[in-house]
Amino acid sequence: MAEKKLEGAGLRGQVAGQTALSTVGKEGKGLTYRGYAIEVLSEKASFEEVAYMLLYGNLPNQSKLSEYKEKLKKYRELPSELKKVLELIPASAHPMDVLRTGCSFLGNIEPEGDFSNQADIADRLISIFPSVVCYWYRYSHDGVSIETATDHDSIGGHFLSMLTGKEPSKDDARCLDVSLILYAEHGFNASTFTARTCASTLSDLHSCITGAIGTLRGPLHGGANEAAMEMIEKFSSREDANAGVKKMLEAKEKIMGFGHAVYSTEDPRSDIIKSWAKKLSEQNGDDTLYQVSEEIDKVMDEEKNLFPNTDFYMASAYSYLGIPTKIFTPLFVIGRTSGWSANVIEQRADNRIIRPSEEYIGPEKSDWVDIENR
């Protein structure tokens, strides 16, 4: 039976459910979380406010926000059992695998139970993932057992202080905060749909998030920021980047960090993180990475009419923050855990198991042949 191309393959463009959490390029609305434009949230909100809003349905007042931040601080400490597991993972491991293992193991020692505390479990994961990544990284790479229960007001500052071992500047902490906001939620993307599918079976939150992490790990989803950085680092100047990218295009090589499955003309998150990359490059004293990135952007626009997605300028911004390339995608996880968890909670509230149909394209009839005659 000849194969035929399935219309809507990969479920692209197919409506798979309803959500009150975000709009992604729908009806000219750009990207919004619960009706709030991403441009407004990235300018005025903290990541903690956004996480609270996604999980609990509305923006907190000052009292609620202060209470929530204190709750998140108390959830940063790693259990001793989890520390032992992290210490066994080699430095050669991918940090996404470390997060996947950490989340799964946490589900054994802190099981969710009957879902009555689902929001608390979500808050615990949002808080503890920075500790998981940084504890493993510093232990396996530097031989240091770091303290993970810091008193930083923001998750951005908390993460950078653990990873680098020094206090981040106000701008550095705010840039990371903004990046987490940009990554927090994005409709029924592959990893979020994985989390919702898992949730539809009435599985526990740890399983849902573990599955989402595994899905985000792929280079066609969350790993794009790492791939973009690896490419950007190859070039030493605008001229070098211009010639190099054109050569890659001639060879039909894929340029990571451009175009999007949903947005057709621009990714509304890109200009936001681009402005931060430029600001940090000026403060750094060496703006080569930013200049190279901007030239690649220019070439892709002129040659392919493609726009940068949020992963592209996120790469240089994270590099200016002193974050190793292999840690880029785990930061995506830290931000997106708020959205994943909110999607799981939303799925559970009006659940029906997700079980799409398929189109069979195999043989119409196969005749059995005994093994001695095959």
Query: Catalytic amino acids?
Result: 221, 260, 311
Q: How far apart are CA 295 and CA 90, in angstroms?
A: 37
Bridge partners of 36, per DSSP, are 33
Phi/psi at 23 (5° precision): -110, 140
CB-based contact 212:183 (threshold 8 Å):
no
CA distance linking residue 183 with residue 225, whole number of Å: 12
Q: Which of 180, 213, 183, 181 is nearest to 195 (CA)?
A: 213
Q: For 310, phi and psi rounded to 5 degrees? A: -60, -25
Q: What is the distance between the alpha carbons of residues 337 and 127, in angstroms, rounded to a whole number?
A: 10
- Residue type present at position 72: L
Surface-to-core class of residue 374, CB atoms within 10 Å of its CB (0-12 exposed, 13-18 middle, 19+ buried): exposed
The four Cα atoms 207, 212, 217, 221 give a dihedral, to 10 degrees, of: 170
192 closest CA partner among 14, 16, 9, 13: 16
Residue indicated by tokens 């799925």: 347
Which pairs count as long-range contacts for 295-299, CB under 8 Å and 24+ apart, including other chains?
Answer: 295/235, 295/238, 295/241, 295/242, 295/245, 296/231, 296/232, 296/235, 296/241, 296/245, 296/255, 298/242, 299/241, 299/242, 299/245, 299/246, 299/249
Name residues whose C-beta falls within 8 Å of residue 203's C-beta, 6 or more positions apart in sequence: none
Query: Is residue 241 exposed (0-12), middle (13-18) or buried (19+ Cβ within 10 Å)?
Result: buried
Pair of tokens at residue 313: 């300028």
Closest by alpha carbon to 128, among 333, 358, 350?
333
